[in-house]
Structure 1
């Protein structure tokens, strides 16, 4: 059970949710569905701000603001989402105070209120990253911070963007290790990694659909498996969406080299993702 700060009454605060959308990878439908999920899973008042370079077809309830300026060349050939560094500046549009950042491709399955009540208002709080269990690592798919509190991170990054990306690989590792005073992590159960915590182990993945883990509030989708794939029952956009074709693909040379891996990489259609991931 999380501990609520006794000096903070979140019901009297405007809860501020932000996201960032650049380029063409995610269309307006991702922002629109994220807003829909937020609005169904939060106690008002709240505001929802999308920093974007393209407002086409974004629903009117969303406050669209320009991408925060950052005059650098973004790193190349890196796995991290380094354009998120735009959010680390001294100012962030017209927003001040506490913000909760969410990736566009998360699925919200329970109330977001506790994310604003956890810890102290000026804490930088990341979701737990299960990818490296021996490393205390946060995940920036969902994290809370005070606007202006990450300026030192942006300054370090601006000084050597490619060098920082090469050293840390992922922006969440850079954030975890460099926030002044350190970061805190939300309770592990609150933010669940779809591939690691929701999908069934082999061979149950052929008879049972992925589940919502106990205590989960947000499901994140790193690693090329997106909500659209989960709804269709595909492990990724190139995978088969039925058992017959998936097993048939085992004969492909690349899959014969790692047969167990291929057998594990199958999911049945996930109806609860379709239920929650909508406008």
Structure 2
């Protein structure tokens, strides 16, 4: 595959993330990709973005996105056959990933027509893909968008998560990145109890991207908490709070979920 086809895309809507996340993602891509490459962000607010980022309006939809208790579906906009003039394979990255290694191999692995996803370690028996990091040729997932448009709420409630819908319905099936390339922070980097009270989360040297699905965000890992609603505490303080019942989960989960401030996330997740 010609190196000029290193096309990165991301998407941003609403107020949860903003220019800080997008700029950091671009900076990490730039530090870990051999030029040339392109970086396109589809967004409803381009204020404050690095001028090197190709900021485009969100692809339009001719139907209303479903509102459900589980799953977030706005990324379906990227399944359009008209994606800001891009063509060929594009590599999608969630805004809250941390890039830990060179990304060039993500554009040479497999065949250009492949749909390749990260593995979801939370559902190993299901062989579920994770769309935090996935590559697809522009337009290949159009049939998914067409089917989704006919009954968005029914599909959203049936599949629960957009990644399951992609895994099960991508034309020609899906492939997965090699296991060491993409790591799930909560599942594969956090330390087990009681080591989590003494050692920060691990980062294998052969990893390339660390993803943060769920409530635990890079800033939480940097500050040392399981999610943003928790207070920051020392190991001893955290144990005392758990024993006193000052917690929103079982004592076992409270102890297992503690994380120390993670220095490598702080060192990598920056402009």
Under a length normalisation based on structure 2, what TM-score does the superposition of the two structures give? 0.96
Alignment counterpart, residue 111 of structure 1, candidates 102, 105, 116:
102
Give the direction of change, closer, same or farther, for the CA distance of 1:257–1:195 in structure 2 (3 Å limit).
Answer: closer
Alignment counterpart, residue 164 of structure 1, candidates 155, 166, 179:
155
Distance 1:175 1:225 in 2: 23
**1:51 correspondence with 2:17:** no
Which residue of 2 is the match for residue 184 of structure 1?
A: 175
Distance 2:63 2:239 in 1: 47
Which residue of 2 is the match for residue 250 of structure 1?
A: 242
Q: Deviations over 1:21-50 (max 9, x none)?
A: 000000110000000000000011001000
Cα shift at 1:246:
1.5
The DSSP-based 3-state class of the residue aligned with 2:90 is strand
The DSSP-based 3-state class of the residue aligned with 2:125 is coil
Distance 1:27 1:64 in 2: 12
Cα shift at 1:245:
2.9
Which residue of 1 is the match for residue 198 of structure 2?
A: 207
**1:259 correspondence with 2:251:** yes
Q: Deviations over 1:212-257 (max 9, x none)?
A: 1342100000110000001101111122322233223214647496
The DSSP-based 3-state class of the residue aligned with 2:126 is coil
Does the aligned pair in 2 maintain the 1:250–1:256 contact within 8 Å? no
Name the count of aligned residue pairs: 270
Under a length normalisation based on structure 1, what TM-score does the superposition of the two structures give? 0.93
Once the two structures are overlaid, the 10-residue window that deviates more, 153-162 or 247-256, is 247-256
**1:271 correspondence with 2:260:** no
Which residue of 2 is the match for residue 3 of structure 1?
A: none
Give the direction of change, closer, same or farther, for the CA distance of 1:239–1:134 in structure 2 (3 Å limit).
Answer: same
Q: Deviations over 1:99-156 (max 9, x none)?
A: 0000000000000111101000110111111111111111000000000100100001
- Any stretches of 5+ residues in structure 2 without a counterpart? none
Once the two structures are overlaid, the 10-residue window that deviates more, 136-145 or 235-244, is 235-244
The DSSP-based 3-state class of the residue aligned with 2:168 is helix
Which residue of 2 is the match for residue 197 of structure 1?
A: 188
- Any stretches of 5+ residues in structure 1 without a counterpart? 1-7
- RMSD, aligned α-carbons: 1.4
**1:133 correspondence with 2:114:** no
